[in-house]
Amino acid sequence: MTVHRAAIRQFTTNVPRYNTPIPPPSYFSHDSSHHAAQIPSSKLDNRSRSLTDIAMVIAVGTLCFLAIDNYRAHHELQAQVERDRIKLAETQEFLTRQTNAARKKRELQILNERKTTKMREMKLALHVAMLRAQLQDHGIEPRSIDDCIHEYARSVKMDNSISNVSGTALWINDDNSLKGLIPNVREYEDKGR
């Protein structure tokens, strides 16, 4: 029992101890020991404040770096877009020139083909006129145009299928006696004259 009383007496007679060396704040007294005890607390505040300041400086520096990098990347992308726009315009202009040149070349080719065809037709008509004149000079009456149209309808065949790119193909039946007398249209081309 004496051990029990000694333990109880220890708790009742001794001043209670706190876990920290700093006593709780006193709101009613202004003793100087309280201010002396606050100094280690202000060192902790200064230390945490300096860490906060360092963190703020790092955060602001990071944000500045990101802003500058974003600004630089924005201007690089704008310059790239401008270069691409200029390149696209040049490509479009080049393709337009090529298309126009190909169209003009094709139109010139068509005009030359028409001119060649018209020249052949006129040479053939002139040849027919000369042959008719020759027949009349010998007292023979040439065949009429109606006879020619009738023979055309009876003997000439035509192919205007899609596979024939150059246009309509005309030919005379193999069994017609006039087939061997028809001149080749190439004979009416200029031969170095």
- Mark whether 123 and 147 lie in a shared domain: no
Of the residues 142, 158, 179, which one is the last residue of a structural domain? 142
Range of the domain at 137: 59-142
CA distance linking residue 98 with residue 76, whole number of Å: 33
pLDDT of residue 183: 80
Q: Is residue 72 part of a domain?
A: yes
CA distance linking residue 176 with residue 155, whole number of Å: 7
Query: 0.85 exceeded by the pTM?
Result: no
**Do 69 and 76 contact (CB within 8 A), yes or no?**
no
- Mark whether 96 and 118 lie in a shared domain: yes
pLDDT of residue 46: 78
- Mark whether 130 and 75 lie in a shared domain: yes
Q: Is residue 50 part of a domain?
A: no
Tokens of 37: 């005890």
Q: Is residue 29 part of a domain?
A: no
**Do 189 and 120 contact (CB within 8 A), yes or no?**
yes
Q: Is residue 49 part of a domain?
A: no
- Mark whether 104 and 118 lie in a shared domain: yes
Q: Is residue 85 part of a domain?
A: yes
pLDDT of residue 22: 64
Report the candidate in 42, 37, 39 with the shortest Cα–Cα distance to residue 23.
37
CA distance linking residue 86 with residue 73, whole number of Å: 20
Report the candidate in 64, 180, 184 with the shortest Cα–Cα distance to residue 123.
184
Of the residues 125, 142, 159, which one is the last residue of a structural domain? 142
Report the candidate in 4, 24, 22, 1 with the shortest Cα–Cα distance to residue 12.
4
| Three-class DSSP category at 50 | helix
pLDDT of residue 37: 47
Q: Is residue 129 part of a domain?
A: yes
pLDDT of residue 58: 95
Q: Is residue 155 part of a domain?
A: yes
pLDDT 10s digits, 47-93: 788 889 899 999 999 999 999 999 999 999 999 999 999 999 999 99
Beta bridge partners of 171: 157
Ranges under pLDDT 50 in the chain: 34, 36-38
Tokens of 11: 């708790």
The number of domains in the chain is 2
